[in-house]
Amino acid sequence: MKLNGIHHITAITADAQRNIDFYAGVLGLRLVKKSVNQDEPSVYHLFYADEQGSPGADMTFFEFPYAAPGRPGAGMIHRITWRVASTDAFGFWERRLAEAGVQAEATDEYLRFSDPEGLAHEFVVADVPDQPLIADHPEVPREFAIQGFHGVRAYAFDPERSKRFFEETLGFEPNGDGWEVRGATRGGLYAYDEAPAERGLQGAGTVHHVAWYSETEDHEPWRERIAAAGARPTPVIDRFWFRSVYFREPNGILFELATPDPGFAVDEDPEHLGEKLILPPFLEDKREQIEAILKPVRNPRQSARA
């Protein structure tokens, strides 16, 4: 039983339109699902990914319209690393980000920048056999496009505290200054940096959780194994596009295990993912009230093709 890399990463935005403009516009990801927070349906839950909406490339945001800017601290993920095909992509992205008013830091090893709310991203060239997960965007040539997640880095005061749980319970393999989480088709990295003294604040521009990809048949066995290790997982929750189990790792970072099934095409034509507001079945009878509260958002990719 192996976790197959990262399934999705969920963060917080205070401004859905600015978020769509950045992730579906500037970064060229595909908005694959426009929905609401299932625990708080008055706010958006936006999902971006590659063209197919694959696990491994799925960045999601809860919109909390009045959220104060957050800042990562101990127990929080502070940087998301994505793969690109070559270092030539760094120059392309540096220019494209600059045109959008985003300053990037480029070296031979990486390109680093933050989204408009301060969420830190990094592009690297990774030597992995994983299939690139690419979205089609008219302004982003395929050779420069984002290819999916490579890893996340979190802040912790005591990395040793998580080591045994990662290696004996979750099957993380030591790799570089952290761990690799690799399954049948994909892998992802997880590493710590020394936490700043200042407390973290969960707010706009911070990561809420990282979800690891669990094969569907392994999902319940994983839950049992995590419970046996004392990590207190939630019951399996039906998120309609995948099933989820949540727990905190020993340094406090919120983890989820999510399944690849049934996927984003379960309730929408794959050609038209993300175009309409999709509600989970139990909220469908409240659609009118929900739509009246949500501020309409414009998808730059849809407008570009119209």
**Interacting residue ranges for Zn ion, rule: CB under 5 A:** 10, 211, 256
Say how far apart CA 275 and CA 34 lie, in whole Å: 7
Say how far apart CA 84 and CA 116 lie, in whole Å: 21
Output the smallest distance, CB 136 to Zn ion, in A.
25
What does the CA dihedral 275, 79, 186, 23 come to, rounded to 10 degrees?
20
Helix/strand/coil for 201: strand
Q: What is the Cα Rg of the chain in Å?
A: 18
Q: Closer to Zn ion by CB, 14 or 254: give it.
A: 254
Q: In what order do the strands lie in the sheet with 111-114?
A: 105-106, 111-114, 120-124, 77-83, 149-156, 187-194, 178-182, 173-175
User: Which residue has 């119209």 as its token pair?
Assistant: 306
DSSP 154-194: EEES-THHHHHIIIIII--EEETTEEEEE-SS-EEEEEEEE
Parallel/antiparallel/unpaired status of strands 6-13 and 58-63: parallel
Q: Closer to Zn ion by CB, 10 or 162: give it.
A: 10
Output the smallest distance, CB 15 to Zn ion, in A.
20
Output the smallest distance, CB 28 to Zn ion, in A.
22
Output the smallest distance, CB 151 to Zn ion, in A.
17
Q: Closer to Zn ion by CB, 10 or 259: give it.
A: 10
Kindly state the tokens that stand for 116: 């408009």
Nearest residue to 89 via CA among 71, 75, 63, 110: 110
Output the smallest distance, CB 38 to Zn ion, in A.
10
Q: Closer to Zn ion by CB, 39 or 285: give it.
A: 39
Q: Closer to Zn ion by CB, 72 or 300: give it.
A: 72
Helix/strand/coil for 195: coil
Q: Closer to Zn ion by CB, 234 or 289: give it.
A: 234
Output the smallest distance, CB 202 to Zn ion, in A.
15
Q: Closer to Zn ion by CB, 38 or 302: give it.
A: 38
Output the smallest distance, CB 56 to Zn ion, in A.
14
